[in-house]
Chains A and B, each alone.
Chain A
Amino acid sequence: MQLMKLPWLKPEKPIPLDVHVIWLPDGMSCDGDTVSVTAAEQPPIEDLILGNIPGIPKVVLHNRVLAYEQGGDNFMDWLYKAEKGKLEPFVLVIEGSIPNEKIKQEGYWTGIGNHPDGQPITLTEWIDRLAPKAFAVIAVGTCATYGGIHAMAGNPTGSMGLADYLGWKWRSWAGVPIINVPGCPVQPDNMTETLLYLLYQAAQMAPMIPLDENLRPTWLFGKTVHEGCDRAGYYEQGDFAHEYGSQKCLVKLGCWGPVVNCNVTKRGWMRGIGGCPNVGGICIACTMPGFPDKVMPFMDEPPGARLSAVGATVYGGVIRTLRQITNSGINKEPKWRHTGKKLTTGYESTNYVTGRDGRQ
């Protein structure tokens, strides 16, 4: 097994006992991924914080929602320490879409802490300061990974995903790519398990985290919703639901499960309970780069569904090919999620868009 070679493996830098996690839910976010993680049980967040899993470093978590500090400087100090390289090694977690702060002349879309002049420090400034110092950077939730809801057509903030901002080829100083754990919100265990993997990696007990071309952990996102769905039997028999509340297959009512990379139907939401199509909720492709624009309106039948639903009884290979085409379509973000000074989402601002130059 190829283990990562990290600087602290040298005699003077032993495997760390603590790994700080600087978690900023300060993108365009609802804090839903932070809240989601408090529901995790495989592993639970307290097991990581209290060091209840043998052999791996303890997590020292800095997240404003779960902090002991009252806030302000007492909380912000951790960010300044990380910036100065005093918290090595640390993992940076970004939650929420990354707004484009360059499309306007002044003000802020989202920030945390203040400059000496009293104006907020924007999230993108914090990413610029902290990402180069982090051992690994995780984008949690679909907003941070690919832009998500706030990057919808017509949005006024020019929001995008972290990899759109930092670059898809970005690597940490330790050689780790951005790790995307999508989901709206993230499935609780998917996030804590990814964190756990990184702790094993930091302790030299695991090889480089395996990621797909959209930077998702492969063991979590390698299969489709449909492949794990307990309603797939109805699909196979061509027996479809025509009203919500039915226990049959939902593809004719807007379910994108056949072409969406997600394990929720296998894992459930919590302790195997809940999920999406398995419990009567159409899959709206909330883990995908093309979410939400490419799957709206959500309650309409997906364009490829008619053909593949008819063909289900005919020939599996044809279906797989057709699905791959649809799958690769929603595995791409819409073209307006980008850096630069120009807002191309379709929103017409009367008071702030400079529009002087195009994409960077």
Chain B
Amino acid sequence: MTTMTTAERELQTGKRTLVEMNWDPVTRIVGSLGIYTKIDFQNREVAECYSTSSMFRGYSVFMKNKDPRDAPFITSRICGICGDNHATCAVYAQNMACGMQTPNTGEWIINLGEAAEYMFDHNIFQDNLVGVDFCEQMVKETNPSVWAKAQRTPSPNGDKHGYRTIADIMTSLNPFTGEFYLKALQMSRLTREMFCLMEGRHVHPSTLYPGGTGTVATIQLFTDFLVRLMKYIDFMKECVPLHDDLFNFFYEALPGYEKVGQRRVLLGCWGAWNNPDECDYTYKKMSKWGKEMYVTPGVIVDGELVTNDLVDINLGLRILLGSSYYEDWKDKEVFVKKDPLGNSVDQRHPWNQTTTPKPQKRDFQGNYSWVMSPRWYHDKTGEYLALDTGGGPIARLWATALSGLVDIGYVKAHKGKSVTITLPKTVGHPEMELEWRIPKWSNAIERDRARTYFQAYAAAAAMYFVEKAIDQVHKGHTKTWAPFEVPEEAIGCGFHEAVRGVLSHHVVIRERRIANYHPYPPTPWNASPRDVYGTPGPYEDAVQKTPIFEENGPDKFKGVDIMRAVRSFDPCLPCGVHMYLGPGKVLQTQHSPIFGMMGK
């Protein structure tokens, strides 16, 4: 599937009856997102979609002139579910700017904290938020025939997870009463305890500093982590087969379901977990140490790996104004003309961005969101690509599989094909090997499936990190933080994977203060509005053309297929998502003149 331009779509639509359906706020996600659609119920398809964000907070504005060392503490507050990803990314950026390196043991502690974050966050989102869209109550209300079929369909992996039929799985996902729902909620707490062991507090860590951590590296610390990790790994051996059964059933029960949330394969991953033996945080060696990360960075276009080099990734970043409420900065100061390798840095690169908010009325034919439009400039084709993260895991697994660089025993990437995850023996299950294979589509079901597999990936990687950390303590290497001075002038960047995808922080330091700071989390990528070239953002793109399988008509319409498409991206907009489901207003039956007017 390709990203069609509005003009092409206009020709193909012709005359049709469209019903306006809006979800503002969208529930069961973090933050404020609104999805505004026009639905063609006769042809059971979404014709048009806009995503809007209802909040502006102004981090890039008020961080100016602050002490750069404060950046991890402040930026953590950007996100209430993955704030630590920001704190970590800010540490990476400060490490580069101040020319320091986290001591080996400190890096393993950060990696363990971040692994626990992935284990927690994907877990609570998958089974306490997304899972509700697949639970008995929801399926009965939206697709009674699917519920009837689920009751007749045995679970192929029933011996592993204990639920005899697909219907039993759905029942177990009912909110606050379902057995698996409650078990997942308990697991989300256990994993947060693991997180607190490493980073102090969830979700805004207390023990992360530029230069490392304040966590005291003792044998007890890692024992406490390991015993909890083994319980989670035991849980994974039920969780992954359960989700495979559930998601495969949807393809089987609703032929064509692969089209829900499907878009062109345009994925970005900025890499996760640094290898302390390789990563010195210098920009000059970033190409090399980026490839040593335990999740490999990558830009994927139509299934092909375009680059896995962090310097290329960095230089390709462009922030387009799109349909957002900000003033342009094309005539403002250029902070960074060349990167430390001598490459030119674009005016629309985050290092050179100047954020000036301009509050105004919402206008879907003009400006309609507080989210800007980050794009990746593909210099070979001259395209500004609206990359998505697929909620994180699908891009991470895909990029790691294509590069084939990761091999740590518990996790192994098979170049161009798959990733295998080996989970050791636990109290309830023997050793288990899981294999995630590159899927045929980038769609809602595959994004959700990848999330479950990545939970297992994070757990397996944590096994490796724990072993490395204990080894350091045995050797007496308990230093976790390195002293440093803030330089008079410097620039830095950090690349990381927030739970739901790509995360970058760009800092410019002058007179030992922050002169410019721009964090780019995953949601601006995924939730961005139409950019200056008229290219829709990924949510908009994925929801447009999504077929409708729900059995309810416009009067009782819940929009479950649309919401499955949107939630598969794991929206997290503590910067903007609201959902408004109106009774439905029938627009005029005519060639809609609104089409084709989306750009600026």
Chain A residues engaging chain B, CB cutoff 8 angstroms: 26, 28-36, 38-39, 41, 46, 49-50, 64-76, 104, 106-114, 118-120, 148-150, 152-157, 184-185, 243-247, 250, 264, 268-271, 273-276, 279-282, 284, 286, 292, 296-299, 345, 347, 349-352
Contacts and interface: CB of A to CB of B under 8 A. Distances in A.
Given A269-B201, A297-B67, 8 more contacts: A68-B132, A71-B24, A110-B32, A113-B578, A244-B207, A269-B202, A275-B201, A280-B200
B356 A351 contact: yes
Given A31-B81, A113-B24, A246-B216, A298 B69 contact: yes
B24 A244 contact: no
Contact of A30 (B83, B213, B359, B483): B83
Contacts of B128: 38, 66
A347 B55 CA distance: 18
A68 B62 CA distance: 36
Interface of B: 22-32, 54-58, 61-62, 64-67, 69-70, 73-74, 77-81, 83, 106, 124, 128-129, 132, 137, 175-177, 182, 185, 188-189, 192-193, 196-197, 200-209, 211-217, 224, 325, 327, 356-362, 478-481, 483, 558-560, 563, 574, 578-583
A219 to B, nearest CB: 21
A156 B80 CA distance: 21
A39 B128 CA distance: 13
Contacts of B29: 65
B573 to A, nearest CB: 9
A346 to B, nearest CB: 9
A34 B54 CA distance: 18
B79 A30 contact: yes
A150 B57 contact: yes
A41 B327 CA distance: 46
Contact of A276 (B67, B206, B558): B206
A106 B580 contact: no
Nearest to B69: A299
Given A70-B560, A70-B581, A297-B69, A64 B25 contact: yes
Q: Which 5 A-B pairs have the closest CB atoms?
A: A71-B579, A281-B206, A32-B80, A72-B581, A274-B196
Nearest to A159: B57
Contacts of A152: 62, 74
Contacts of B32: 26, 110, 112
B196 A31 contact: no
Given A106-B359, A113-B580, A155-B58, A71 B26 contact: yes
A77 to B, nearest CB: 10
A274 B201 contact: yes
B194 to A, nearest CB: 9
B67 A292 contact: no
Contacts of A67: 27-28
Nearest to A117: B361
Contacts of A270: 189, 192-193, 196, 202
Given A39-B189, A76-B580, A245-B106, A32 B81 contact: yes
B148 to A, nearest CB: 22
Given A110-B56, A284-B73, A35 B209 contact: no
Contact of A35 (B30, B78, B176): B30
B58 A34 contact: no
Nearest to B573: A31
Residue with the highest number of chain A CB atoms closer than 10 Å, among B27, B79, B574: B27
B359 A104 contact: yes
A34 B80 CA distance: 8
Nearest to A141: B80
25 contacts: A26-B55, A35-B30, A36-B202, A46-B185, A50-B177, A66-B128, A70-B560, A72-B23, A75-B25, A109-B55, A119-B361, A157-B56, A245-B214, A245-B481, A270-B202, A273-B193, A273-B196, A273-B224, A274-B196, A274-B197, A274-B206, A297-B66, A349-B357, A350-B356, A351-B327
